[in-house]
Copies of this chain bind each other. A is one copy, B any other.
């Protein structure tokens, strides 16, 4: 175990990792996990990975669990990195899809939940609460069930219906709110104060990022440690982008990759684009986005707690931020499925729209290696697909 401390990226205060700490007690910012990377470099080699299982725990030297027996796993990680050769050819780039639909619960949220719940269990947590746009709550609910931790989940009534079912069948204490995730967050805040349970809200505990970080580690390993030129990420709370950035910084520090970093692109829906607006105005933080609405429900986050970390990752990597419309998203979702066979979620499809725009503008250059994160399986969002199917009687023929 190489974890040394928790660090505040805002006020630089250091805190012990050996008790549950939520936000920085000194300034209220999200905390980051730090490791003794020199020691990791000395003791961990790429060859160590060869015989390890294809799940995210293969990178245990860069993960915060002290005792492996506290691991709560449903087989998450090492999702496919698919070459989308037909669409890549059209754009004259080397295009990949990191398909996070192929993971327990069908979304990338499994990573944060697996590491977050495992570490919560290790720290003796017996109950947790969180607001969610659906998928994170579902993921934490199933891992909490496996860990025998009580989970209080609050989600907007408009969140995808299937995520309710997941929470309910996993035995979580589930509540809907007539409002947005920000309203759910306030309810959770009051419940945490009353119940004394862990607050598992996005970035209000430091371990979820560590799980999400493994997306970056896997991308690097799957590309044989060659850093891609661009990574596009559909950005709501932005934890994945923060985590991927942290992964590439850590890989650089342990000497597994060169100096190069991928240019990170935050993709948002035009109906909720606070990060894009802040980036365009070259600001360090975003403002609350009023009347947020998009078909890509998972990225309907009007103001992310970690916005400053997302923007910093973009600035530091010479990345950018792009907004796309719901109509573009739905068209590109269908194009991805019908051309490449990948039925991605609307959030994932937004990346492809953004990639096309950035190729057209010249920001992505010919032959660059570009990775798009599909954050979830399209099958969790049945309402985004328009289907008109002929119905036949048993004695009828297919009309030719």
The interface of chain A, by Cβ under 8 A from chain B, is 50-51, 54-55, 72-75, 78-82, 99, 101-106, 129, 142-147, 152, 154, 157, 161-162, 164-166, 168-171, 173-179, 183, 186-187, 190-191, 194-195, 333-334, 337-343, 377-380, 382, 385-394, 396-398, 400
Tell me if B165 and A382 are in contact (CB < 8 A): yes
Tell me, in angstroms, the Cα distance from A336 to B81 when the chains sit together.
30
A186 touches which one: B190, B379, B387, B394 (CB < 8 A)?
B394
**Can you list 7 A-B contacts (CB < 8 A)?**
A50-B51, A74-B341, A142-B343, A152-B398, A170-B341, A194-B397, A379-B379
Tell me, in angstroms, the Cα distance from A176 to B388 when the chains sit together.
10
Tell me, in angstroms, the Cα distance from A78 to B78 when the chains sit together.
10
Q: Would you give the shortest CB distance from A97 to chain B, in whole angstroms?
A: 9
A145 touches which one: B73, B82, B338 (CB < 8 A)?
B338
For A142, the chain B residues whose CB sits under 8 A away are 337, 341-343
Copies of this chain, count = 2
For A390, the chain B residues whose CB sits under 8 A away are 175-176
Tell me if B170 and A398 are in contact (CB < 8 A): no
A79 touches which one: B75, B143, B386, B397 (CB < 8 A)?
B75
Tell me if A145 and B194 are in contact (CB < 8 A): no
A377 (CB) vs chain B CBs: closest residue: B106
Tell me if A378 and B82 are in contact (CB < 8 A): no
Tell me if B396 and A157 are in contact (CB < 8 A): no
Q: Would you give the shortest CB distance from A133 to chain B, in whole angstroms?
A: 15
Given contacts A175-B392, A342-B74, contact A191 B54 (CB under 8 A): no
Q: Would you give the shortest CB distance from A163 to chain B, in whole angstroms?
A: 9
For A377, the chain B residues whose CB sits under 8 A away are 106, 379
For A146, the chain B residues whose CB sits under 8 A away are 340-341
Tell me, in angstroms, the Cα distance from A183 to B74 when the chains sit together.
38
Tell me if A396 and B187 are in contact (CB < 8 A): yes
Given contacts A102-B102, A175-B390, A175-B392, contact A339 B145 (CB under 8 A): yes
Q: Would you give the shortest CB distance from A392 to chain B, in whole angstroms?
A: 5
Tell me, in angstroms, the Cα distance from A337 to B175 when the chains sit together.
19
Tell me if B50 and A145 are in contact (CB < 8 A): no
For A50, the chain B residues whose CB sits under 8 A away are 50-51
A169 touches which one: B174, B190, B338, B400 (CB < 8 A)?
B338
Given contacts A145-B341, A343-B166, contact A105 B379 (CB under 8 A): yes
Tell me, in angstroms, the Cα distance from A146 to B142 when the chains sit together.
32
Q: Would you give the shortest CB distance from A111 to chain B, in whole angstroms?
A: 13
For A75, the chain B residues whose CB sits under 8 A away are 79-82, 99, 102
